[in-house]
Structure 1
């Protein structure tokens, strides 16, 4: 089972220094992969939303926001992703009426609500399926470090409340590869939130010539949770983000039940949450990804799905016009 990220990843601590030698070979291999020549190019542009670190920084909301801008400009985007946590290797077009999170992963179901979505372990094959179903641009959710498919424009997403943590490569820290080679392969940096932990990353990105964009995640219909006493639960990269979002909406988060990223809920988990909520008279709230993983469940997990409210968030760029200009060259829009 995938574990939650260790706390020492996000601060300077002895464990990170002790594990640093284990991160060196990982970083070496990852940096070499970043430098590999892409093996295939599609006939349509590929825009990639990546993350320099392991765990959630906001890639999926960023991909959704990017697709919305493209659709507003008359484009026909198709999402492409691996479908982490799903059994299907693809390439397959996601059908929410037929597929579950067990089949294609939770992120694919969220994306499919906004634009046609393809899941494929082989990104090249997935990109070609996107072409077949009518895409005129592919938006990749993750896959930045995968060299198989040529990307015409790539943006790295960083959560400003944590930045890149201790700046070390996994398992010593949260980085998937050393930061410098990752920045050298990207064209833009998206900073989500108003924290200061990403300031060094922003400075490095600016020095490397990347365009920098700021964005903010905000809950939809925050009044739904204002004044409510909440039992929040989440199995995402950083579960504490759910609690922060709910507090921003005016909720009192009595407890946050944090599970590993992409956690598959068991009946025992559901019973514990349902019983605690009933005993303490709390409202159960979780993320859209967790709701997607519970969809179609029966027994206690089905009861949890019916009882839980999803806190939905949207990402808004501070300067969407500047973002359009940044990727216009890749799209040959001539803006």
Structure 2
């Protein structure tokens, strides 16, 4: 879905006020669900989740967390619901035979680094992770899912958007009231910079929770000075467009699509025709690339998450493993 503009506006926006009764019901149901105890995993479970709907950088954070686990001598596996995929799982992702229509786009990216399991039943998925040789599970999303107990849960927040208008869906982007979600996390990963995120970080620190600051670093060699048509179907396409500009690319046009968008022949033909008309290269994200047909002529801008204080998050992860 494409988030409505009023989610980033003031909390007293007329649309937000009109939807407040529905939001109160949704928020109570989700918060009560989060409070249910989960089944213990076969090995430590580390969850990276969102307070809100939409992208915050969870997948790059999951990849970085797996790197930390490997540095601690662990053999991690990823666990994902496989949003947008048709397979309920549990299934071990095989990029050679699974496509995004089978398992979703994010698991295909994760499987490049370590075993990735897709499962709507998270406890069953954790069992398959362990059966595949993992001794630690990195759960990509699932903060609000009570099916599996978490040994460490960290909320990933995009600093540029924070928690939007602070209201619960559908009046705002929160999945449950923020006050009810804090009790389920042990820390915050703040990605990028911006006043909205700093307000969330201040609340985390007031609650005694660590804030791990991080940035997404593009690996965009060769894009400086290039004229590009940028397109992205991710949670916050504008963030990708800003990253491209920071790489020195000249953005001739920017085309946002809904998160997890399945590109059809019409989309691809329109993008190609516009790029030809503008004399621009097509550029997209790694996450979008797995939803494109093989051979489609788009350049890819990979990004990697870097922690400002890697030792601090390494210490928190190690302490969770020790418990």
Smaller-chain TM-score bracket? over 0.9
- Compute the displacement of 1:18 (Å): 2.0
User: Once the two structures are superposed, what CA deviation does each residue of 1:164-188 show, in whole Å capped at 9, x if it has no partner?
Assistant: 0000001110001111111111001
Which residue of the other structure, out of 309, 313, 316, is the alignment partner of 2:306? 316
**Aligned pair partner of 1:327 in 282, 304, 317:** 317
In 2, the alpha carbon distance for the partners of 1:20 and 1:172 equals 6
Deviation at 1:20, TM superposition (A): 1.6
Q: In structure 1, list runs of 5 or more residues that go unmatched.
A: none
Q: Which runs of 4+ in 1 moved over 4 A?
A: none
- Superposed displacement of residue 73, structure 1: 2.1
Provide TM-score, normalisation by structure 1: 0.94
Residue 18 of structure 1: aligned partner: 18
Task: Find the counterpart in structure 2 of residue 50 from structure 1.
Answer: 49
Show the counterpart of 1:194.
193
Counterpart Cα distance in 2 of 1:214 and 1:126: 30
Cα distance in 2 for residues equivalent to 1:104 and 1:76: 22
1:306 and 1:293 map into 2 onto residues whose CA distance is 10
Instruction: Report the Cα offset of residue 286 of structure 1.
Output: 0.6
- SS of 1:224's equivalent in the other structure is coil
Distance 2:64 2:37 in 1: 29
2:171 counterpart residue number: 172
Aligned partner of 1:242 among 240, 243, 247: 240
Q: Residue 114 of structure 2: SS of its match in structure 1?
A: coil
Ranges in structure 2 where 5+ consecutive residues have no aligned partner = none
Offset at 1:208? 2.0
* Distance of 1:21 and 1:285 partners within structure 2: 42
Superposed, 1:242-321 pairs within 5 Å as: 242-294=240-292, 297=293, 305-321=295-311
Give the CA RMSD over aligned residues: 1.1
How many residues of Structure 1 are paired with residues of Structure 2 in the alignment? 321
How far off is 1:43 after superposition? 2.7
Is 324-333 or 267-276 further displaced after alignment?
A: 324-333
Supply the distance in 2 between the matched residues of 1:24 and 1:232 (Cα, whole angstroms): 38
Q: Assess if the C-alpha contact under 8 Å between 1:184 and 1:208 holds in 2.
A: no
Aligned partners of 1:275, 1:176: CA distance in 2, in Å? Answer: 39
**Counterpart position of 1:159:** 158
Equivalent runs, 1:112-123 vs 2, <5 Å:
112-123=111-122
TM-score when normalising by structure 2: 0.97
Equivalent-residue separation in structure 2 for 1:48 and 1:242 (angstroms):
24
Distance 2:95 2:101 in 1: 12
2:60 counterpart of 1:36: no
Per the alignment, in what secondary structure is the counterpart of residue 306 of structure 1?
coil
Listed one character per residue, the Cα deviations across residues 236-289 of structure 1 (whole Å, up to 9, x for unaligned) are 111111101100100111211111111111111111000010111011001111
